[in-house]
Amino acid sequence: MKKIVKFFIILFFTIWFIDCEAKPKRYKFFFPEEEQSTLLLGLLSRQNLEITNYGTVKDKANNLEWKRCSQGQGFRLAENDCRGVVSGTLYTPIDSGTFGAIRLTYCNAPTMDCNQKALPFALTAPEPNANYISEAYASCANDRTGGFTDWRVPTLPELKVFTLGGKNALYDIFSSTVQDYYWTSWSNEKDPWGKTAYIVSFAQDKWGEENVASKDTRYYVRCVRNLP
């Protein structure tokens, strides 16, 4: 009887140990297998991308053209990067990791004044003689990259899709992306006071994370325009 009890005790702990043993990540082609589908999506989507010589990428599948540089950065054609501006600003001191990217507000006051009053509450131009401004809106609206005048802040779905290709695929083309939150043009429809708007993270540990922030907080901006 004692031998039987001893056998089952040993069997129990053997099964428990095997089940609780940490399982190492499995790698394939130098990437974790769990990231393979995301990476593949990024590689496949690149077939629909056209890189221009003036610092943009045309996404023909979604009929969009994206600036490769975050606002404040400067595109360098010879070096094929966005490191043409490295000087600091009042809100963004000199930092070799941002390469001149600047932080901007969605609105200078946490209210509904800077966006439309109907869903999806998109960022809009200020009314004449308005006492409020949107640094993010103005930065894109006044941008003349490629000679175009219709640059704007991307919507939440557009910026979310921008992260679906995975970190490796995105950094291959947008290498100077700041690892932080970027503004979308959508105010938070769940916020009845209109104090917050949507942001999307490009940080390594929060990649593609959707969040909301007070509109007078400063985050980074990447402009986009619709292809004709």
Question: Over the chain (228 residues), what is each successive 10-residue block's mean pLDDT?
Answer: 42 39 38 41 61 94 93 93 72 67 94 92 86 94 97 95 81 89 97 96 92 97 97
Can you tell me whether residue 128 is helix, strand or coil? coil
Q: Is residue 43 a part of any domain in this protein?
A: no
Nearest by Cα to 134 from 197, 216, 71: 216
Q: Is residue 122 a part of any domain in this protein?
A: yes
H or E element: which one contains 199?
A: strand 196-201
**Contact call for residues 187 and 153 (beta carbons, < 8 A):** no
Q: Is residue 75 a part of any domain in this protein?
A: yes
The model's pTM is 0.77
Q: Is residue 10 a part of any domain in this protein?
A: no
Domain count, the chain: 1
Identify each DSSP E strand in 136-217 by its residue range: 181-187, 196-201, 210-214
**Contact call for residues 194 and 184 (beta carbons, < 8 A):** no
Angstrom distance (rounded) from CA 62 to CA 58: 9
User: The domain containing residue 186 runs over which residues?
Assistant: 49-226
pLDDT at 87: 58
Angstrom distance (rounded) from CA 100 to CA 3: 73
pLDDT at 32: 44
